[in-house]
Amino acid sequence: MVKVGVLALQGDFEKHIETLDRLQVSSVEVREKSQLDKIDGLIIPGGESTTIGKLLVRYELMEPLRNFAKAGKPIFGTCAGAILLAKEIEGSNQDRIGVLDIAVKRNAYGRQIESFEADIFVPKIGELPVRGVFIRAPIIKHVKDGVEVLSRFADNPVLVKQGKILAATFHPELTNDTRIHAFFLSLFSA
């Protein structure tokens, strides 16, 4: 049985754990690098990407996480998590893991009053839309070769995959729909 780690330095990690609970998958909050050896895949939650990035550096998790990705272990980042996975962050030199070939722009839809919900179609997981909850969300501006766009909203990619790394600019963990998490779990055995 797989064990999924949820990076718990800051952000809505509990919501991801609740989603994994609904899928009856065992999970653990990750705050130490030594825990990475004991998990099969990792979720990086929503939150403040600058805060999480700084804590990753201070608690020496950055390099171990890059190695985790290099070893082909599945990683799923939502919103701040997607920003931390991106190689390029427009106009920012903030700390990042930088293992996904995309360029993102932070807070690209505007301030909080521009946060929104919309139906998102992800053909890979079925015909029914998922409810995309976008909160001060980033926009994925470019994807390089090798990055598969699984869904778009108004022309911009919102769910992308490269190898076993999955990134969403919205928050599937804030809805009761478990399909995107289930898709992530399918990467463990792929």
Partner 1 sequence: MSEILWSEKQKATWRNKVGLAEMLKGGVIMDVVNADQAKIAEEAGAVAVMALERVPADIRAQGGVARMSDPKLIREIQDAVSIPVMAKCRIGHFVEAQILEALGVDFIDESEVLTPADDRYHVYKHDFKVPFVCGCRNLGEALRRIAEGAAMIRTKGEAGTGDIVEAVRHMRTVMDEIRRIQHLPIEELMTVAKEMGAPFELVLEVARKGKLPVPNFSAGGIATPADAALMMQLGAEAVFVGSGIFKSKDPARRARAIVEAVTYYDDPVKLAEISTDLGEPMMGISARSLPEAEQLAVRGW
Which one is catalytic: 14, 63, 79, 114? 79
User: Smaller CB distance to partner 1: residue 110 or 146?
Assistant: 110
Which of residues 9, 84, 165, 166 is near partner 1 by CB under 8 A? 9
- Both tokens of 108, joined, read 């690209």
Choose among 93, 99, 84, 13: nearest CA to 52: 84
Q: Is 173 labeled as catalytic in the residue annotation?
A: yes
Size, binding site for partner 1 by CB under 8 A: 47
Kindly indicate which of the ranges 67-75, 110-118, 159-167, 179-187 contains the residues binding partner 1, using the contact rule CB under 8 A: 110-118
User: Smaller CB distance to partner 1: residue 14 or 63?
Assistant: 14
Which of residues 21, 60, 63, 114 is near partner 1 by CB under 8 A? 114
CA dihedral (67, 72, 76, 81) in degrees, to 10, reads 20
Which of residues 19, 27, 151, 162 is near partner 1 by CB under 8 A? 151
Is 67 within 8 Å of 97 (Cβ atoms)? Answer: no
171 is a site residue for partner 1 (CB under 8 A): yes
For 154, phi then psi, to 5°, come to: 45, 50
Choose among 76, 72, 100, 104: nearest CA to 5: 76
Instruction: Provide the residue count of the chain.
Output: 190
Q: Scan for tokens 């999924």, then name that residue.
A: 4
Give the integer Cα–Cα distance in Å for 108 and 77: 17
Residues of this chain that interact with partner 1 (CB under 8 A) are 8-15, 31, 46-48, 50-51, 54-55, 58, 79-80, 92, 106-107, 110-121, 123, 129, 133-136, 151-154, 171, 174-175
